[in-house]
Structures are given as structure tokens and as C-alpha cells.
Structure 1
């Protein structure tokens, strides 16, 4: 009887229907990220005149905080996911506007606010909440209300675009716009609408190129590396060459001493140099497993909202992996995107933990293996 009472406990019920394999994949990435933060941050720690474990200690704090957030979000019902998304969206939007007036400026951009000794990037909280809200607006069974939802989500995207351009954060704009278009496509929006919207985004991106010097500089360095300063991407590319198949060994890399963002934007280059191509492929395989596993469960749902929200979240997660690794391999211009759960940073860890918590909540299953049919 005691066993039966335990199995009726909410935590036990959650454990019986949550996707434990996806959860395990995320835990593996978190653990590896904590380990790599030590070797990747030693050069930066020396530059800041702090001890070698400074960034490691902070990353471990971020890790356990993110883990708690992810598990909490995975317990939510469908209505809870939507409610939390609206609260996070309002908080993030207020924070983004606040950064324009009292934000900390880093490398010419005002994207961060200092909170209790930590530097928070509000736009990171915007990413998962915006995807959920857009899915909710676009999934109403009534076609007329669904069309109204489309225009509301377009308005939200427009507001975010203005704030992101003022910070400026062009990479975030590209990421969120891409995911939004993906959701529009999945929502079966008319092709003429999509074509018109694509034109609007193209015009906005062109204006960003003309009006934002750092965007123009990054694209110029990517398109014409021979006549540009490509210091970081050159060192990152060389790191993979030096690492070979099996790497130089933990702590033996030199790229982390040359790159100021070795522990964040270019952490994949550190992995390539110190652990080699094989480890890089294993890391990418874990990301691929999480994406494929979650997508497989998402497609079994009968609820349009779950399909749109889950697909959008996974597009965001996978897109960030592709962009970060693509930049490290010199396949894309630098954007400032982090590698989920591995790059150092509290804002990124919090954002990705919320995202995966939502994914785990949306993909919870019944004991018969079918996708759980939530009651809104």
C-alpha cells in the first residue's frame, strides 16, 4: 500500500511520463559544460586577474539553478506553460526596454542588466516565452481568430525587432524571426502571406546592415576575410586543425589564451582542440538525439498548440547549435550565439533550461506511450 501511495504522488507520476532519455541527454550536456568551463576559461580568468576556478564556480551555480528551473518547468500543465510564458515575456520585454536606459554596455551593445551580482540578458528570457505565445496565438481552431492571432504575433515580433535593433542584437532578431517563420509555415499560413512577410524581414535585415556598423563589419569580415580582421575565426579554425581526431588533451590547448570569448561563443573550438574531432561529433550526436527524440514525440500529439510550440522550441534550440558551431567552423559570420548548456553564461543557461523544461512538459506521455492529451 505504501508503494501504491508513492506511485500516486505527483513527482512519481511526473517521473513515469516524462521523457527520461531527453532529460538524460540534457544532463550529459550540462555535466560536460561544467567540465569544459574549467579548461576553456583559464585564459579569460588570467586576463581578469581572478583565480582559475572563478568561472567554474559560477558556471556550477548556473548549472544547478538551471537544473532546478528546468525540472520545475517540466512539471507544468499545458495551461501552466502558457501562463508562465506570458509572465516571462512581460518581464523580459520590460528588462529589454530597461537595458536601453540603464543597461551595462559590453562591446558597444546594451543588452545586460546587473542583478544581485550577476549580469542578466533579458532577451534570452524572451526566446522561449515568445515561441510559446506565438504558438498559442496561431493554434486556435477558429480560422478567423487564428488570423487575428497571426497579426498579434506579428505585432509582438515588430516590437521586439525595434528593441533588439536599439540594443543592438541583430543575431537575436535573425534567430527569432527564423523560428517565427518556421511556426508560420507549420501553421499552414497562405503562401502569399509568407512571401509578403519574408519581404518585410528582408527589408528590415537590409536596414540593419546599413544602420548598424557592427553588423556590417561582421558580414564584411565573413564575405571578404582577406581584407578584414578575422583574428577570432582564424584562431578558432586553427584550433580544429591542431586538435585532429583525438585532441591535444584536456588543458593542453592554446586557443583559449588567444580568444577573449573562448569560454562562450567559441567554446566549440576549445573542445575541438583539446578533445578532438571524435568528441565534437559525440557532442553533436547528443544534440541530434535530443532534437530527434523530442520531434518524434511532438509529431504524435493531437493538439495543434503542442505541435507548434514544441516544434518552435526545438527549432530555436537546434538553430542555436547550428549557428554556434557554424561560426566556430568559419561557416557563418559571428553572431554571439552560445552553445546550449556548454557555453559559459547564466542568461544562456537560464534560457535553455526554461526551453527544455517547456519541451519536457509538452512531451510528457501516458504510460501507454502516447503523447499526453492535456486539458487547457
Structure 2
């Protein structure tokens, strides 16, 4: 699924662009078929988090393709209904949502230890490698790496890290909107949204703003397929937005 995410965005952007040419290619239909196939495979696992990630990125690409806002709102409504249905279809989703809504009546060991680690960091942190509370945080090298960084480097570093991701996504979307080629524009926007959304989900879980979900923090969490895939994703995005003759609108 890690490598499927950027591949899907590239393919659906291509299909959206081909459909806009009016040459009889059913680009939108093919794009939606690829999307439903992807989320179908993810839900079989089941992996609801990656499904949400792909759905939002697909929606961003769909919107950047120039479709009417009513279509985007319809897709958003269907996606929200589908997400709500996972509560009733998958027991582990219901368990995580229940723990989030009623923490006093369930085991919230992960988020509690993460909150203690973040609080222990204070303004400037304990120092690199000096974290103490991190030893009690499950999955500290992947899902909860943000809490470790907050304990060792403090609030200022944590806010700087969030600002860096925000700048990366904002700048990437700005560059994407200036591109002349519809395929490059849609693909780059979808990829930057996906990177930003993954970072948002990881940080939000660490701060107990949303139910827990196994989602790595791009470029910060321990390596593996996720690290390689996120490097590939941003490599695609940079390739699409690099400055070359005729790529950008003048002015």
C-alpha cells in the first residue's frame, strides 16, 4: 500500500488529464475504477487509515482537475458516509473510536504515555537522546515519533517541524497551481496533499486530537517501506514542479 499511494495519484491524474482532452478517453471513469480497486484492496486488510489518506488525496486531484464543486461535495459526502460505516463494519475501528470518545472507560496507554512525553519536553526539551518518558511509549520509533521529538527537543522544535511540513505543502500546492500542463498540475497537487495529510494524521494522533491510527511521520519515523515510499512520493512531486522551459505560466 505504501508504494501504491503515489502510483495511484500519478495514474488518476493522467486519466483526468486525458479525459479533459475530449478525445473519447473515459479518463474519469478509469480513474474512479482505479480508486475503488485500491480502497477495496486496503479494506480487505483492513487498513482504514490508508483508505482515508488515499481518498483525501484522490479528492484533491479530482478537484484540481477542474470538476464542478458540486461533484467534489458529492464525493466528500459519499466518503464521509463510507468512513462512518467503518465504525459498524470493523471492530478495531469501533474500539479505537470508543477509546477516543470515552478515554476514562478504556485502555489509553499509548496516548497517555505520549502526552506525558510531550509535556516532559517543556519549551526546549531534555536534549538529544536524553528522553526518559519515551521509554514507556509504544511504537515510539514509528507512530509516536513526534512525542519523542517533543520530549527531547521541546515545544519550539515541535512547532518548527509542523511549520516545515505546512510550508512544504503550501509551497508545493502554489507551484502546482502555476503549472501549464493539466497532468503535472493535478499529479503534483495530489502528491503534496498526501504528504501533508500523512504528517497531519501522525501529529494529530500524538496530540490525541483524533483516534489512534498507525501512520508514520514523513521523513522522521524509522525507515522501511514507508520511508522509501515517502521519498519516492516527494521525488515525483519535485520532478513534476521543477522549473523548466514552458512548464510555468508567465507572470
TM-score (norm 1): 0.62
Distance in 2 separating the partners of 1:199 and 1:282 = 34
Give SS of 1:247's match. Answer: coil
Q: Is the 8 A contact 1:165 1:208 kept in 2?
A: no
Structure 2 residues not aligned, in runs of 5+: none
After the TM superposition, which of the residue ranges 209-218 and 186-195 deviates more from structure 2? 186-195
CA-to-partner distance for each residue in 1:53-99, whole Å, 9 max, x for gaps? Answer: xxxxxxxxxxxxxxxxxxxxxxxxxxxxxxxxxxxxxxxxxxxxxxx
Q: Map of 1:249-328 to 2, 5 A cutoff?
A: 249-328=127-206
Q: For residues 197 and 183 of structure 1, do their structure 2 counterparts lie closer, same or farther at Cα, with a shift above 3 Å needed? A: same
Question: Which entry has the higher C-alpha Rg, 1 or 2?
Answer: 1
* Structure possessing the higher relative contact order (Cα contacts under 8 Å, 6 or more residues apart): 1
Partner of 1:357: 235
- How far is 1:372 from its partner? 6.1
Structural RMSD (CA): 2.0
CA-to-partner distance for each residue in 1:128-151, whole Å, 9 max, x for gaps? Answer: 1111111111113334747x2112
Partner of 2:38: 160
Q: Is the 8 A contact 1:268 1:328 kept in 2?
A: yes
CA-to-partner distance for each residue in 1:265-303, whole Å, 9 max, x for gaps? Answer: 000000101110111122223223322332332222111
Give SS of 1:299's match. Answer: helix
CA-to-partner distance for each residue in 1:237-290, whole Å, 9 max, x for gaps? Answer: 121111110011222212321122000000000010111011112222322332
Q: Is the 8 A contact 1:138 1:149 kept in 2?
A: yes
Distance in 1 separating the partners of 2:56 and 2:205 = 17
Q: Is the 8 A contact 1:265 1:336 kept in 2?
A: yes
CA-to-partner distance for each residue in 1:151-194, whole Å, 9 max, x for gaps? Answer: 21111121122211111100000110111111212223234433
Q: For residues 202 and 339 of structure 1, do their structure 2 counterparts lie closer, same or farther at Cα, with a shift above 3 Å needed? A: same
Partner of 1:90: none
Number of residue pairs aligned between Structure 1 and Structure 2: 248
TM-score (norm 2): 0.91
1:181 counterpart = 2:56: no
Q: Map of 1:219-234 to 2, 5 A cutoff?
A: 219-234=97-112
Structure 1 residues not aligned, in runs of 5+: 1-122
Give SS of 1:331's match. Answer: coil
Q: Is the 8 A contact 2:114 2:134 kept in 1?
A: no
Q: Is the 8 A contact 1:256 1:262 kept in 2?
A: yes
1:142 counterpart = 2:21: yes
Distance in 2 separating the partners of 1:197 and 1:283 = 32
